[in-house]
Structure 1
Amino acid sequence: MKKHRGKPIVQITDPDIEEYALRMTTSESEDVKKLVESSDEQLEYIDMLSGNMVGQLLKMLIKISGARRVLEIGTFTGYSALMMAEALPEGGELTTIEMNILYQELAENHFRSFDKDQKIILIKGDAREEVPKLAGVFDLIFLDADKLSYAEYYKNSLGKLASGGLLVVDNVLWDGTILEPQEEKAMALDAFNKAIADDDRVEQVLLPVRDGITIIRKK
């Protein structure tokens, strides 16, 4: 799926700088590279993959924070789930939720092939319904799902996040269209970003990495 086919976008980072930064970033494991190849073979577009810079940032946050229990909202074909699972310590677990049937099947196949330590649990369903059912709290939550539902996901997720835990949200700049939002998703993301900035229960930093990523820490 292409986000803005035929529509003008803002280039967030100079392409040469972004390419250089990517070259200077630790590369993906062979298993993750195989997952990308498999996804590309089976789908017309794979631009919803988080990408190596975001993936490595997630891995770094897990290692620095010592996270052992991770929740992902929006699996797609399993790229970011596998990246994060690779960073989890022994005994760590990652729960990921996906409602699209095709993506469920692709992710399930990928986890069967590449999740060698069986750290990933795939829940098939709507995260708006599934997250409230989950027991316990999580050390880190990664949100990368339906942009129109970000506010609801956030509301449900914050109660499942441990004190001092991290909530990482992808695509918060939406190719720069949040600056002068015209379409529905850009307007929803702009409203979401402003709500987070005004929420005194958390502290956050919005980074212009790839398509924009916000790191939120629950106080």
Structure 2
Amino acid sequence: MMTDINRRIAGRLRALRQANGWSLDRAAQATGVSKAMLGQIERGESSPTVATLWKIAAGFDISFSALLEDAPQADGVLLRSSAGGDWPTDDGSIQVRSLFPYDPALGIEFFVIELQPGACHQSEAHAAGVTEHVIPVSGSLEVCVDGRWHALAGGEGLRFAADRPHAYRNSGREPVLFHNLIHYRQTRPLPCGPAAGAL
């Protein structure tokens, strides 16, 4: 049975391909995700992992959250909750929740992430110009950039260019909760929400 989130991803992926005039073969070349997998995602037959979603977003040159949520309304005040907003994860070791989806006016999206004890999450390079800000809220977190691990305690923060492979690691015995703010260099408006196709 297709879940609501799989239905949204399927619709947005199909709309993105159509907007670009791309075949599944062309989309596979751009994203590094196989034609078979892209077809399964469009039909709602597969739940893509976080890593796969990042590849798709980078290949289409859009924000990560644009695959899953509409852009927030620009009314000046936005109250959001990350409760119950889990997005697809690789193996249950990491939970990704959106607090603020991509805002084209600001060029940012904001996530609340929980990493389980002993877990290490590898992230491939994002699009050129993408910058991440990582701030542990509870527990200690290690972040690897350019092969070097940085230890962060609660209240500390790390900013780095995310257009290179990086990783997050929890060496402790308790889950680590951290905030992840992602900033996109705005060379042109990034499609988001309905721009990727009305669902």
- Shorter-chain-normalised TM-score: which range? under 0.3
Give TM-score, length-normalised by structure 2.
0.28
Greater relative contact order (CA < 8 Å, ≥ 6 in sequence)? 2
